[in-house]
Amino acid sequence: MSGAASSIYKSIDQTFLYVDKINLWTGRIVSYLAMVMMLTIMYEVISRYFFNAPTLWSTELNIYLLCAYVLLSGGAIMRESGHVRVDLLWASLPKRGQAITDIATSVLLFAFCTALIWKGAELAIRSLVDGRSSAEAMAWPLYPSQMAVPLGGILLGLQSLAKLWRDIAILQGREL
């Protein structure tokens, strides 16, 4: 491999290491949402059953937090190879076979990420422009929680590009 090609490969490798770091930190930050959800549910249970004073905001808040938790953690889970796949067949393949399988299925993953980004951004922007709010008692604006959809799609898509790059490297015999 020429010096110029090697330099380009190293630059791309470095870029995807940054993607790894972004998803690692996003996953760590988002993981605290589970603690917030647990505390608000606990507060709701105590308020409702011990003081007969249910809250209006707890359920709605937890729905939004759960959506953010699921959507924004996709890239971090991809980084750790934590997404569901049919390991029965995949695990029995040699490393090159696994890379080929992952490359072939990445087309579907990129289509999914594209839909999340495109349609999610469309929905969030429309909610922001129209001033849409939830139909629940708190009537919170919808666009902040809806922005988790395209942002999650971007994080998952970037991590999927990093995975694709690494799978191609395996096929080229230059494992990272």
Chain position carrying tokens 């009537």: 139
Which of 147, 131, 149 has the alpha carbon at shortest distance from 139?
131
How much is the pLDDT for 93? 87
Lowest mean pLDDT among 31-35, 90-94, 153-157: 90-94
Rg from Cα positions in the chain? 21
- 3-state SS, one letter per residue, for 90-149: HCCCCHHHHHHHHHHHHHHHHHHHHHHHHHHHHHHHHHHHHCCECCCCCCCECHHHHCHH
pLDDT at residue 30 greater than cutoff 80:
yes
What pLDDT score was predicted for residue 82?
80
Alpha-carbon distances, residue 29 vs 33, 76, 149 (angstroms): 8, 11, 17
The CA-based angle 113-103-114, given to 5 degrees, is: 15
Determine which of 59-63, 70-74, 152-156 has the lowest per-residue pLDDT on average: 59-63
Among 78-82, 92-96, 159-163, top mean pLDDT goes to 159-163
Contacts of 125 (CB under 8 A, 6+ apart): 143
Q: Residue 175: what pLDDT?
A: 67
The band of 1, judged by pLDDT with boundaries at 50, 70 and 90, is low
> Percent of the chain having pLDDT more than 90?
66
At 176 the pLDDT is 67
Instruction: Summarize the confidence of residues 116-126 as an average pLDDT.
Output: 96
Q: What is the mean pLDDT of residues 26-39?
A: 95
- For residues 104-138, one letter each, b for 16 or more C-beta atoms within 10 angstroms of the residue's C-beta and e for the rest, the string is eebeebeeebeebbeebbebbeebeeeebeeeeee
Average the pLDDT over 18-36 and give the result: 95
pLDDT for position 90: 81
Domain boundaries, the chain: 3-172
pTM for the model: 0.88
pLDDT of residue 120: 96
Across-strand partners of 32?
none
Tell me what pLDDT residue 84 has.
77
Q: What is the pLDDT of residue 139?
A: 85
Return the pLDDT at 153. Answer: 97
Can you say how many angstroms the Cα of residue 24 is from the centroid of all Cα atoms in its chain? 11
User: In this structure, are residues 61 and 40 in contact, taking their beta carbons and an 8 Å threshold?
Assistant: yes
